[in-house]
Each structure stands twice: as structure tokens, then as C-alpha cells.
Amino acid sequence: MKKTTMAVCVLAAVCVATTLLANLDNQKAFVAKYPDAKASLGKCSTCHVKPLPKKEEHELNPYGKDLLAKAAVDPKAAKKEFKFEKVEGLDSDGDGVKNVDEIKAGTNPGDPKSK
Ligand SMILES: [Ca+2]
């Protein structure tokens, strides 16, 4: 492998890992807040459309969008921290069940097909 190809591969891996680690921090914070939801909701698809999103396809689902818009401590900070309780009373995905009730039930607050 050429040195430039190797450098590009290493850089790409670091970028993916950095994005993944940021999301893992968010997952850890979510699970710390809702320990009973760990098995069903401690994963990427709780806030993202794709189950394991890459940087260019990290589109947020309705719950993730509400978190970013209404619960981020500082929406402009590189590392996001969320006050999850700020969106507990909302029904982000519009399926008739409040986010907090979905989280308690282990269903996805960002997916209307899950309630
Ligand atoms: Ca739902």
C-alpha cells in the first residue's frame, strides 16, 4: 500500500471513529438517564434514521431532531450534551405516545411504526 493511500485510510478511520465515539457518548448518557431502556434503545437508531449511520448519512429521526433543537445544553458545541427530560413530554414521532412512555416501554420515540 502506498503511503498516501495509507494516510487517507488512517484519516478516514479516525473520522469514522470520532463520529462513532461522539454518538457512543450520547448513547451512554441516554442509558445512564434511562437504564431500563438499555437493551432496546441504547443504540444509534434511537436518534438516527439509519441503524449504524456514517458521517454523511447521520440523518436524525424526529426524536433526535427534538433532542438537538430543544434539549441540547449548547447546540453549537462540538460535543453535544442533552437534557433528555426536556423532550420527555413530547410525542416526537407523532404516534400518540409520549417520548417518556415510549422509552419506559422500550419502543422507539423517533419511529412512528414503533409504539
Ligand atoms: Ca414511536
Question: pLDDT of 49-69, one tens digit each?
Answer: 988 878 788 899 999 999 999
Q: How far is the CA of 18 from the centre of ligand 1 (A)?
A: 29
pLDDT at 15: 45
Asked whether residue 16 is assigned to any structural domain, the reply reads no
As a whole number, the mean pLDDT across the chain is 86
Q: Assess contact for 46 and 99: CB atoms under 8 A.
A: no
Q: How far is the CA of 13 from the centre of ligand 1 (A)?
A: 33
Domains held by the chain: number:
1
Q: How far is the CA of 49 from the centre of ligand 1 (A)?
A: 13
Q: How far is the CA of 99 from the centre of ligand 1 (A)?
A: 8
Asked whether residue 3 is assigned to any structural domain, the reply reads no
Per-residue pLDDT at 91 exceeds 80: yes
Asked whether residue 11 is assigned to any structural domain, the reply reads no
Q: How far is the CA of 23 from the centre of ligand 1 (A)?
A: 21
b/e map 42-60, b = 16+ CB within 10 Å: bbbbbbbbeeebeeeebeb
Report, as an integer, the average pLDDT of 95-115: 97
Q: Assess contact for 81 and 67: CB atoms under 8 A.
A: no
Q: Assess contact for 96 and 87: CB atoms under 8 A.
A: no
Q: How far is the CA of 54 from the centre of ligand 1 (A)?
A: 23
For residue 53 the three cell numbers come to 449511520
Asked whether residue 51 is assigned to any structural domain, the reply reads yes
Q: How far is the CA of 62 from the centre of ligand 1 (A)?
A: 10
Q: How far apart are the C-alpha atoms of 15 and 34, rounded to whole Å?
A: 29
Which structural domain, as residue segments, surrounds residue 73? 22-105
Q: What percent of the chain stands above pLDDT 70?
A: 82
pTM score > 0.85 for this model?
A: no
Q: Assess contact for 113 and 77: CB atoms under 8 A.
A: no
Q: Rg of the Cα trace of the chain?
A: 16
Asked whether residue 86 is assigned to any structural domain, the reply reads yes
Beta bridge partners of 72: 82
User: Given pLDDT bands bounded at 50, 70 and 90, which one contains residue 6?
Assistant: low
